[in-house]
Amino acid sequence: MLNLILSGLAGCGSVFLLLIAISGKSPNGQAVAVVWVSGGVIVCLVAAVVVHECGHLLTCLVFKVKVQEFRIGRADRRAFRFRFRGVKVWLGWPGVGHVKHDPVPARPRAAVILMSGSLANLVVAGALLAVALATAPHQQGTLGFPEYEAVELSLATFIGAIGLCNLLPFRSRSGQLSDGAKLLALSSERLAIKLGEGETVIKGAGDTIWRPATPQETAEYNELVPRLRQLGGDPHASLPSELVDKWLAAYRDRNFIGLLTAWAVGRALRKSGRVSELLELFEEYPVPSGRLVGAMMHSLGSLAYEVALVPGMALEVLGRVVDELQWLIDTTELADTPHGRMTRTAALHSLAVARLRQGEFAVVEDLCRTALAGPVLSATDRATVLATIALARQALGSPYEQLVAEATALDPRADLVAEAGAPSSQVSGS
């Protein structure tokens, strides 16, 4: 709420300054006022967003952190898209923006990158204010001032306010955390999760409301929790078809139970070849929030992984998978809890699989090495990671046979091991 108040006050202040500057200075006062004020507000908004995102971008370049995407505008709106030196660039209506980059292993650098957008806003606002004050004519007994000075002051006010707002911890309507909220996640994942605890409802696409389970549904679910834990500890365990259908129905009924069990249902659907239903779960999964945020992050990451495992998946779908996984990595990045570290490790490997399917073979091994350097992996998980590296090396024409042999020795039934050992593997999407 405070961020909305600050943004509103900044906008009103910018409009007020522009109105003062043009009052009584034109024979067509009202018409000119509308043009000046409208144009001034648009310029302020564009400048604030561009400066903020450029701050993140430049800091990534200074720290030599690979930037994957630079976006001005919303991802679900039309935009002019192109690639520049391997970076996906989106230029749309500048109401919002985002810079996606590779995971940052050092906490101080991650904090600086998060703060750099707001710092850029404040530095530019301070410079504009200094210029406006230095060039202001010394007039006594008058409220008016030149138009150029009004533009400078308006820009300084709006850009500075946007910078301050992004340092506040909050979650946007689309479910994205502010830079201030992400800063909290660097010191305490639990503290960052608290941002969503006040929510009593979870909204999906099209503002669809997900409903809490009834007492009877909760009791039935609690009886099956041991089965879920067993399934989580044994990747080869199978979920009975009646439970798959039951929990899939709960998901389609927009029941919280469906959110909690989506990871298990997604695995079963992928193994049984029900790819269209797996895509249904993944594409309709809401943004993790509220008291279920931890469990929802786990389910969302698992669904993204299951989709990435499917050979020949459409590149458009893989792009969505990459976006969701990068969001999970950014949100749980460098968490000081075992759960946070495991979530990040799993998301890193899932991202490697998605990049593999996209044909981005050169980045796969680095992502897998980062995952291998995380918490101790089970034999099955390690076999899958090694098989992922082997598939990337095979596509690049590099030696891979030893990795396949090691993965097969660890667990020949692990994901991707059989695919890596095949004479010719289809690893990219279409």
392 or 44, higher pLDDT: 392
Q: Of 5-14, 190-199, 222-231, 326-335, where does mean pLDDT reach its minimum?
A: 190-199
Contact between 394 and 373 (Cβ < 8 Å): no
For the chain, the distance separating the N- and C-terminal CA atoms, rounded to the nearest angstrom, is 44
CA–CA separation, 394 and 411 (whole Å): 20
Query: pTM (2 decimals)?
Result: 0.57
Angle of helix 107-135 relative to helix 179-187, nearest 10 degrees?
Answer: 150
pLDDT at residue number 136: 66
- Taking CA atoms, 317 is separated from 62, 312, 324, 354, 427, in Å, by 32, 11, 11, 10, 15
Average pLDDT (418-424) is 82
Alpha helices in 23-146 (DSSP H): 29-62, 107-135
User: What are the structural domain ranges in the chain?
Assistant: 2-168, 202-421
- CATH number listed for the domain at residues 202-421: 1.25.40
Indicate the pLDDT class of residue 62, thresholds 50, 70 and 90: very high
As a whole-number percent, the residues of the chain with pLDDT over 90 amount to 35
Residue 262 near residue 285, CB atoms below 8 Å? yes
> Confidence class of residue 143 from pLDDT cuts 50, 70 and 90?
very low
Whether residue 408 has pLDDT greater than 90: yes
pLDDT-derived band at 411 (thresholds 50, 70, 90) equals very high
| pLDDT the model gives residue 370 | 81
Least confident of 3-17, 105-119, 364-378, 399-413: 3-17
H/E stretch holding 152: helix 147-166
Return the pLDDT at 350: 94
Residue range 356-376: mean pLDDT, rounded: 87
The pLDDT confidence band at residue 3, using thresholds 50, 70 and 90, is: very low
pLDDT bin (cut points 50, 70, 90) of residue 200 is very low
How far is the C-alpha of 373 from the C-alpha of 388, rounded, in Å?
Answer: 15
Distance of CA 170 to the CA centre of its chain: 15
pLDDT tens, residue by residue, 67-115: 888 989 876 567 788 888 878 898 888 778 889 887 676 778 888 999 9
Distance CA 37, CA 45 (A): 12
